[in-house]
Chains A and B, each alone.
Chain A
């Protein structure tokens, strides 16, 4: 008898851990028949959902589900477990969703679904969830090698999706006021797909510019963005009209305050300058006066020149007069440059000559008159 005891305990133990129901308690069968993770691949800190389908596989017996929960350490589960869901009829299925937040480390994780039912087997089910933080790429597909002030340049940008899933709401936004359009919407971008967007940029000033584009997209409901900065150097056109002033002459016309500025304006560039207008620039103590407050030159072809004339009234303390030159290119873009002309108040050569002759006339006249008067008084 004593020899049979260990055998009896062994049988009882085996029966106990195998969960073999007590005779007369047949347990129902419940299965997780499917799952869906949205978005398919999360980026770090993204919020997504896991939906599982629970089905009662029994043909006649209902199952009472007590609790369904989701467990994972690397992925934070934001939603609460389901308690006392109720009965699930024979052959019926039920979708249960859990909200999750991705962690900060890329990889594939397996959160566990734990299902507990009253008269059915408990279920542990692992669902693979992928975290891939690879962003969309944006780059320059094409742009002119040289950016020229005032000339429109097309900039083509290409957006690629190296992610394993489709992203939505893809658009490129820029805040540069010289860029048209300010936004290009590209919509959905499937995995490994790329799309091209075009922008027109018309720089208004020379020098180094940095164009900034922002690529915006959604991974599921999660907005993301990527910035692209393009440094570029804007120069004057090598072919554009280049207006230079030569042969400047300044004549004082009214005392020492009104000056007539004459000279030639030359086009040393390779393109035509249209609607060329010369004006006296604004400044303290500087005032354009009639008859030539402004001078219209009109069309100035390459290697051509035209005379001009301007009248300006200046205060005594003014030493330089700004001359404003405005012209348009073939596209109607307005250009303006300012040249400064020095006002020299020293006597001109002719004035010096005049002084010599003036002194001579004065001396001769004075000597003559003094001599005559002296003679007349001596003779009286």
Chain B
């Protein structure tokens, strides 16, 4: 399994000879989703703490429970959806580049690329927990102010910025795995596999940097 991280070419070449199986990739994506869910869980706490002066106490208890569950399951579901969406996008681009191979195999190999995201998710969760422990949470009366506060945190808080930068770095690691995964899943040249994985990842990275406030 370590090969997928340090020598993905060899790993996917070997996996290609075996039967298609989504069990392990699904597990990887689920673990990644659960770690994202922990961060979302913590964010739900912050959001409701901001509204603690606005909401009545009894509603706050219910909202806290519902918010935590929704945030956790939402993050889990979104991770699964993004997995499928990424695989579909890769499949489409590689189709343009004359790639061959099934969608299931693409989905399987893309799933392995989520392993670095588990690491980044863990680091981000630790940083997020650290941030929440030390941050002063402002009280808001208007829920629309929450988005503005979040934006200020992302652009102004070093801890949140660090979390985002680490997310981008680990996304590049995942992209590296996807390059070799797509090369074998869709029978692409290394160059075409690089283009296939590079376009969506580059767009994602640019979007993340823009969110940090570095661009525009």
Contacts and interface: CB of A to CB of B under 8 A. Distances in A.
B5 interface: yes
A373 B198 CA distance: 14
B140 A290 contact: yes
B7 A376 contact: yes
A366 B7 CA distance: 18
B9 A290 contact: no
Nearest to A366: B169
Contacts of A290: 53, 138-141
Interface in A334-364: 350-351, 354-355, 358, 361-362
Contacts of A252: 136
A253 interface: yes
Nearest to A253: B136
Among A253, A256, A290, A365, residue most surrounded by chain B Cβ atoms (within 10 Å): A365
A257 B156 CA distance: 10
Contacts of B135: 253
Nearest to B9: A380
A354 B158 contact: yes
Contacts of B134: 350
Contacts of B53: 290-291
Interface string A190-226: 0000000000000000000000000000000000000
B120 to A, nearest CB: 8
Contacts of B8: 376
A375 B6 contact: yes
B209 interface: no
A291 B139 contact: yes
A332 interface: no
B208 to A, nearest CB: 15
B124 to A, nearest CB: 11
Interface in A309-337: 311
Given A253-B136, A380-B9, A373 B172 contact: yes
A253 B9 contact: no
A289 B139 CA distance: 8
Contacts of A253: 135-138
Contact of B156 (A256, A291, A366, A376): A256
Contacts of A254: 136, 138, 149, 152-153, 156
B114 interface: no
B102 interface: no
Contacts of A257: 152
B146 to A, nearest CB: 11
Contact of A311 (B138, B173, B190): B138
A251 interface: yes
Contacts of A379: 6-7, 9-10
Given A289-B138, A361-B166, A375-B7, 14 more contacts: A252-B136, A253-B138, A254-B138, A255-B155, A290-B53, A290-B139, A290-B140, A351-B158, A358-B162, A361-B162, A365-B169, A376-B9, A379-B6, A380-B7
25 contacts: A253-B136, A253-B137, A254-B152, A255-B155, A290-B138, A290-B140, A351-B158, A354-B158, A361-B166, A362-B166, A362-B169, A365-B169, A365-B170, A369-B116, A369-B169, A369-B170, A369-B172, A372-B6, A372-B173, A372-B176, A375-B7, A376-B9, A376-B180, A379-B9, A380-B190
